[in-house]
Structure 1
Amino acid sequence: MRVLHTADFHAGRVLRGFDRTPEIHAALTEIAELAASEKVDAVLVSGDLFDTANPSADAEKAIFDFFLQLRSHGIPSVAIAGNHDSAARLASVTELLGWVGVQLVAEVTADPAALVRHIPTRCGETLTVGALPYLSERRLIRGADLLGGEVSGWRQKYRQGMDFFLGRLAEGFQPGHVNMLMLHATLDGAQPSGSEKTMQFHLDNAYTISQQQLPASAQYVALGHIHRAQQASDAPLAHYPGSVIQLDFGEGGEKKQVNLVEVSPGQPARVTPIPLSSGRELRTLRVPLDQVEARLEREQTGGALLKVLVEAPAGTATAGLKDRVLRLLPNALAVELSATQEDLTLPELRREGLSLLELYERFWQERRGELPQEQRAAFKQAQEAVQSHVEAADGEEGPAAEAAV
């Protein structure tokens, strides 16, 4: 059996005001064509189809076109919701997508069988996928409660909760089938790109699971959530294919790919990465302030999207700097000041241990001078409102709490 594994489309992604959806659409078309040319039996999509809970019409078109292209090639697929997706929104189109061969698992329900999908393939073998959509701690507790799990002893213990679900998924594996597990989660030791924290991924210890928790009966674990392609476990074999284009400047320089997984029932899987060519390169340029024109005029950037870091001593006047850079590099999405290495050693420029308000004051001062009192008060009011909202959501139960998240 030949299975194509991909993840983290993030259709609808806007980077510094620049819509990346056309590039993502092109990448999905490339993946659908690869699925056909490689004669795969199924495609697995491990979450984050969309970048936001309320995607644009163009983002929805990119995703639905992808699944329609797979249908035109007669290739079934299984997809799960990620943390950027609206589980409820995807659940509303689950049956509709089923008509085009997509088995979409968006939410945990009271039926544990709904998390395990059995797919007859044209190679004559059956693919069984234990598909678990992204679960926050609150969703995990509620889902386990629906399935009869005893949650009182581990309400705040994410790993124990995941053990419960992973065990249920493994129970659905069948002898004589190709058995795979699909998750949108962070494994211990996974190496993130520089973009995950920017995109508010849950990467702290409270939201990770260990390789030892993965059921040994899974022949392949199809992971999503981390944007850098990598093997995350040997036994069972687990991989992140990574995002399909460079989504943020933290991913600059990364080569994007999908994974071709070849496997037979009861046999070890073999993974072959297939590179993707779609998507514009993201590059970060660092240049001293006194060399902006001389250096940038010589840059050969091609079609890359750029972030320009201009090194300037603290307190240097930089009026009109962004316009100077954009005249030379119209494809620059960001122009930022960066302290020189000598300045970074000064106590007044160190950031460790500073509060959010102190960091905001530092940010304002570097760009506009002294922070006005009314601006300081507005920031503190906004910060307190966010904190109150989070605390209230943490104390709630039921649909209202989920809506708050």
Structure 2
Amino acid sequence: MRVLHTADFHAGRSLRGFDRTPEVHEALIEIAGLARSERADVVLVSGDLFDTGNPSADAEHAVFDFFLRLRDAGVPSVVIAGNHDSAARLNSVTGLLGWVGVQVVAQPSANPAEMVRTVQTRGGESLVVGALPHLSERRLVKAADLLGGDTGAWRQKYREGMGFFLRRLGEGFRPGSVNMLMAHATLDGAVPSGSERTLQFDLTNSYTLSGLQLPAGAQYVALGHIHKPQQVGEAPPAYYSGSVIQLDFGEGGEKKQVNLVEVEAGRPARVHALPLASGRELRTIRVDLAQVEHRLGTLGSFTGLLKVVVRAPAGTALPGLKDRVLKLAPTTLAVDLDAAQDDLMTPDLKREGLSLLELYERYHREKRGELPSDLRAAFREADEAALLEEA
């Protein structure tokens, strides 16, 4: 049996106001082509199909077109919801997607047996998939439990809750079938991309799973959530396939891939990385102020997207800097000063003393540019309403 594992499409992602959806669509077309050319029997998608819970029409088109291409190739798939997806929204189209061979597990069930899916391949083999969508930490760790507890205790409660589902999913495995687990979560030892760090995704303080909790009967564990492709467990073999394009500058230089898993019932899986060529290359250039023209002039035919970090003495006035950079490198999305980058190295200090609105303004500036006045007003109104409700 040949199983293709992918994850973290993030269709609808915008980087500094630049829509990456066409590149995601290109990557999904490439992956569908690989499913056909590599004679995949099944495709597993381990969450984060979309970048937001309310994706654009273009984002939905990119993802649904992918499933239609798999249908045309005769390749069924199993999909779980990630933390960026709206589980309710995915659940609402489960019936429709079922008509094109997509089995969706969008939400955890009180009966974990409903999260175990079976796929009959064209060769007559059975694939049993224990499918665990993203589980919000707040669902597993009640607010009352947090009062007076320390961070270590919260993480332990999370592990215990996840362990319940993992054990029950493992009980659904069957002898004589190929048995796999899917999950959208963080496993101990996972190495993040720079993108996760940019979002203050601190693995030392996050809720994680231990590899010891994975059901021993799983012949392969298909993980999503971490964007850097990597193996994080050997018994059972657990892999992140990673994101399908370089989603932001923290992922610059990463080679993207999908995993092709060759496996038979009762035998070890063989995992092959299939490189992806889609998506524009992201690159960060650091340059002294006096060398801007010279350094950017050496880029030649580079067609990727740039982030330019200019080193300049503190307090230096830099009128027209962005225009200078864009004239030399039109594909530049961000021009930052070195001092601002120093702040990013110490996110706790950067956040200290800032209001919720100020934090949101910084986040929006980093991801999409300056915060529009109407959105600022809406955020302030929502924040004030929340404070009144708490009072």
Q: Place the TM-score, normalised by the shorter chain, in its bin.
A: 0.7 to 0.9
CA distance in 1, matches of 2:191, 2:67: 29
Deviation at 1:231, TM superposition (A): 0.2
The superposition leaves residues 97-130 of structure 1 with CA deviations (integer Å, 9 ceiling, x where unpaired) of 0000000000123332220001110122100000
Q: 1:340 to 1:207 in 2, by over 3 A?
A: closer
Superposition deviation, residue 388 in structure 1: 5.7
Amino acid at match of 2:220: Y
Is 1:285 paired with 2:300?
Answer: no
| Deviations 1:106-158 (CA, angstroms, capped at 9, x unpaired) | 0123332220001110122100000010001233469xxxxxxxxxx989710
Contact 1:137 1:156 in 2 (8 A): no
- Corresponding position of 1:230: 230
CA contact (8 A) 2:155 2:208 kept: no
**2:3 counterpart of 1:3:** yes
Distance in 1 separating the partners of 2:324 and 2:32? 42
Query: Match of 2:68?
Result: 68
Post-superposition offset of 1:60? 0.1
Q: Residue 254 of structure 1 corresponds to which residue in structure 2? A: 254
Equivalent pairs: percent with the same residue? 67
CA offsets 1:328-368 (integer angstroms, 9 cap, x no match):
11100000011499xx7xx9x9876465336979x99xxxx
| Alpha-carbon separation, structure 1, partners of 2:184 and 2:28 | 19
2:283 matched to 1:300? no
What is the match of residue 357 of structure 1?
A: 353
Structure 1 residue aligned with 2:41:
41
Q: Could you tell me how far apart the structure 2 residues matched to 1:286 and 1:155 are?
A: 38
Q: Which amino acid aligns with 1:112?
A: P
TM norm structure 2: 0.86
* Distance of aligned partners of 1:210 and 1:338 in 2 relative to their CA distance in 1, 3 Å threshold: same
- CA 1:133 to 1:331, structure 2 compared with 1: closer, same or farther past 3 Å? same
Q: Measure, in 1, the Cα distance between the counterparts of 2:183 and 2:346.
A: 39
Tell me if structure 2 keeps the 8 A contact 1:241–1:258.
Answer: yes
Name the CA shift for 1:308/1:65 in 2 (closer, same or farther; >3 Å): same
- Structure number with greater Rg is 1
Give 1:221's aligned amino acid. Answer: V
How much does 1:197 deviate? 3.5
Q: Look up the equivalent residue of 1:326 and give its one-letter code.
A: L
The question of 1:184 aligning with 2:180 is answered no
- The answer to whether the 8 Å contact 1:154/1:160 transfers is no
Q: Give the letter for the 1:357 counterpart.
A: G
2:149 corresponds to: none
Cα offsets for 1:12-46 (capped at 9, x unmatched): 01000100000000100000000000001000000
SS state at 2:97 partner: helix
Residue 397 of structure 1 corresponds to none
Q: Which amino acid aligns with 2:79?
A: A
Q: Deviations over 1:301-347 (max 9, x none)?
A: 52110000000010011011111101111100000011499xx7xx9
The equivalences for 1:6-405 within 5 A come to 6-140=6-140, 157-199=157-199, 203-339=203-339, 353=349, 355-357=351-353, 385=383
Q: Partners in 2 of 1:296 and 1:53 — Cα distance?
A: 38
> Which whole-Å CA distance do the structure 1 matches of 2:202 and 2:48 have between them?
13
In 1, the alpha carbon distance for the partners of 2:105 and 2:71 equals 18
Aligned residues: 363
Q: Letter of the aligned partner of 2:264 in structure 1? A: S
Q: Specify whether residues 270 and 350 from structure 1 end up closer, same or farther in structure 2 by C-alpha distance, changes over 3 A only.
A: closer
TM-score, L = length of structure 1? 0.83
Aligned partners of 1:44 and 1:79 also within 8 Å: yes
Q: Secondary structure at the match of 2:24?
A: helix
Which amino acid in 2 is paired with 1:111?
N
Structure 1, residues 62-104: CA drift from partner, whole Å, max 9, x if none?
Answer: 0000000000011000000000000000000001100000000
Unaligned runs of 5+ in 2: 143-152, 363-375
Q: What's the offset of the Cα at 1:203?
A: 3.8
Q: 1:255 to 1:155 in 2, by over 3 A?
A: closer
- For CA contacts below 8 A with separation 6 or more, give which structure has more relative contact order: 2
Amino acid paired to 2:323 = D
8 Å CA contact 1:306–1:334 kept in 2: the answer is yes
CA distance change for structure 1 residues 354 and 42 in 2, over 3 Å: closer, same or farther? closer
Shift of 1:205: 3.7
C-alpha distance in 2 between matches for 1:98 and 1:216:
29
Distance 1:301 1:195, change over 3 A: farther
Asked if 1 retains the 8 angstrom alpha-carbon contact of 2:200 and 2:347, the reply is no
Distance 1:4 1:212 in 2: 24
The RMSD of aligned alpha carbons is 3.1
Aligned to 1:146: none
Which runs of 5 or more structure 1 residues have no equivalent in the other structure?
143-152, 365-377, 393-405
Looking at structure 2, the residues matched to 208 and 140 of structure 1 have their Cα atoms a distance apart, in angstroms, of 13
Question: Counterpart of 1:176 in structure 2: which amino acid?
Answer: G
Q: Within 2, Cα distance between the matches of 1:215 and 1:20?
A: 36
